[in-house]
Structure 1
Amino acid sequence: MRFNSSIFQIDATPRRADGEYMAHARISCNRDGEARQDIYVSGDLAGFDMREDAIRFATDWAMEWLERRYG
């Protein structure tokens, strides 16, 4: 799942490990038509049984991260 705005994108696609979906987030930006650049890649945030829970957790985490830094 990707959250898109005019500047920031959140990729919250979980990875599968040891029977769990590991939530993590890649935050990137695209400014002035330049190629997309990663500005932050989290480590594993938490493990979930359901893929959708991992996506929701990582997306919420990334949106809070962006709000604290660029609010």
Structure 2
Amino acid sequence: MHFNSSTFQIDPTPRRADGEYMAHARIVCRLAGGGEPDVHMSGDLAAFDLREDAIVFAKEWAIAWLEARFG
């Protein structure tokens, strides 16, 4: 699952570890002018029993992170 815009791409795909889904987000910020994109990796945010819960958490975290930095 990916959130796409012309500037940002969020990949909230969780990883499976010890029977749980670990929420994390990969955020790619494309620069104007076509330079190398800036990539931010959240690291593990939280563990969930349900994959969908991990996706929702990571996506919400990434959107809040972007809003805090870019308005």
TM, length-normalised to structure 2: 0.90
2:30/2:38 contact within 8 Å kept: no
1:29/1:36 contact within 8 Å kept: no
Matches of 2:26 and 2:61, distance apart in 1: 11
| 1:15-69 deviations in Å (ceiling 9; x for gaps) | 0000000000000022347376343101100000000000000000000000000
1:11/1:25 contact within 8 Å kept: yes
What is the alpha-carbon root mean square deviation over aligned residues?
Answer: 1.6
Give unmatched runs, 5+ long, in structure 1.
Answer: none
Aligned to 2:28: 28
- SS across alignment from 2:44: coil
Give unmatched runs, 5+ long, in structure 2.
Answer: none
Sequence identity (%):
68
1:12/1:58 contact within 8 Å kept: yes
